């Protein structure tokens, strides 16, 4: 039985991925919303055949696009998944259990780790890309997206880490195009005036440490423990630098 969820996709020239994307998601969710930012390939044609709602909207910021997609959803719970991503069977099972048990109502958002693979299909296990901690399933009445690039979900309630993976297979031929887009959006956007508090930094550190060491079980192997510690230190440095600049 499909989840009472609207799947939202931000799209631009994704025709090579869309058929499989809809094939994977259609049995799982009750609605699919696509926001297209100017595709010149067959993306709009494919989306028109498979999606419940298709919106054409120029890209001003990624957070605005995600908020627009969420606003067009018929369901309170929203799942954001990119065209080059899929969910493991264990993740779909975990989400099903959340709905069946009713425990999903205790939270405003759910965070998933993501495995990104290189051109040869090898896992890119580096602190910049793994595990990522991606908030993709959330209650749209209690959450909203902020920041124009590398958008962040602002969560108005408890959050939970689910230790099952999203799988990411990027099209590396499009990396230069996307980097140019990110740079243009960042240059044209206003600075983020929100200041990260020491309390929120500490809370995030504890949340991520538990997710890495306990939920993902990285305490069990010495090399995984080293990786988890490196990830936490890397993120602490990044957040500290951002706080100094704000």
Domain-embedded: residue 58? yes
Domain-embedded: residue 204? yes
Residues 228, 180, single domain; the answer is no
What pLDDT was estimated at residue 241?
74
What pLDDT was estimated at residue 191?
54
Residues 110, 165, single domain; the answer is yes
What pLDDT was estimated at residue 184?
62
Residues 86, 26, single domain; the answer is yes
How far, CA to CA in Å, does 225 sit from each of 157, 215, 221, 228, 229?
30, 13, 6, 5, 6
Boundary residue ending a domain (166, 188, 210): 188
**The residue to which tokens 């926001």 are assigned:** 35
Residues 168, 231, single domain; the answer is no
Domain that holds residue 213: 198-245
Q: Which residues contact 109 (CB under 8 A, 6 or more apart)?
A: 135, 137, 138, 139, 142, 143, 153, 155, 157, 159, 160
Residues 101, 145, single domain; the answer is yes
Q: How many domains does the chain have?
A: 2
Question: Does pTM surpass 0.85?
Answer: yes
Residues 139, 86, single domain; the answer is yes
Task: Report DSSP letters for 98-149, one per residue.
Answer: HHHHSGGGG-SEEEE-EEEB-TTS-B--STTTSS--EEEEEETTTEEEE-SS
What pLDDT was estimated at residue 73?
98
Residues 7, 83, single domain; the answer is yes
Residues 7, 67, single domain; the answer is yes
What pLDDT was estimated at residue 127?
82
Taking Cα atoms as reference points, which of 166, 128, 165, 171 lies closest to residue 150?
128
What pLDDT was estimated at residue 204?
84
What pLDDT was estimated at residue 166?
97
**The residue to which tokens 């306990």 are assigned:** 214
Look up the CATH number of the domain holding residue 145.
3.90.550.10
Residues 28, 80, single domain; the answer is yes
Tokens encoding 66: 């995600």
Ordered per-residue pLDDT tens for the chain, 246 residues: 899 999 999 999 999 999 999 999 999 999 999 999 999 999 999 999 999 999 999 998 999 999 999 999 999 999 999 999 999 999 999 999 999 999 999 999 999 999 999 888 899 888 888 888 999 999 999 999 998 777 899 999 999 999 999 999 988 777 777 677 666 666 555 555 556 677 777 888 899 999 999 999 999 999 999 999 999 998 888 777 766 665
Domain-embedded: residue 193? no
């Amino acid at each position: 039985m499909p989840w009472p969820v609207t799947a939202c996709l931000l799209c631009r020239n994704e025709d090579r991925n869309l058929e499989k994307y809809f094939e994977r998601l259609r049995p799982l969710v009750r609605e699919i919303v696509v926001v297209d930012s100017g595709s010149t390939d067959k993306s709009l044609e494919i989306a028109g055949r498979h999606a419940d709602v298709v919106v054409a909207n120029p890209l001003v910021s990624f957070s605005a696009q995600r908020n627009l997609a969420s606003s067009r959803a018929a369901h309170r719970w929203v799942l954001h998944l990119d065209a080059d991503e899929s969910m493991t069977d264990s993740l779909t099972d975990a989400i099903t259990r959340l709905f069946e048990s009713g425990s999903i109502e205790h939270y405003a958002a759910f965070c998933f780790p993501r495995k990104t693979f290189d051109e040869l299909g090898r896992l890119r296990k580096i602190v910049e890309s793994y595990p990522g901690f991606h908030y993709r399933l959330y209650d749209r009445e209690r959450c909203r997206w902020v920041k124009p690039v590398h958008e962040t979900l602002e969560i108005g309630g408890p959050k939970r880490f689910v230790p099952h993976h999203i799988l990411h297979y990027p099209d590396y031929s499009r990396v230069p195009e996307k980097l140019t887009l990110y740079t243009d959006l960042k240059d044209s956007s206003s600075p983020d005036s929100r200041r990260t508090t020491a309390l929120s930094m500490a809370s995030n550190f504890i949340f991520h440490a538990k997710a890495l060491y306990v939920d993902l079980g990285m305490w069990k192997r010495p090399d995984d423990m080293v990786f988890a510690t490196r990830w936490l230190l890397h993120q602490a440095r990044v957040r500290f630098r951002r706080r100094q600049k704000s």
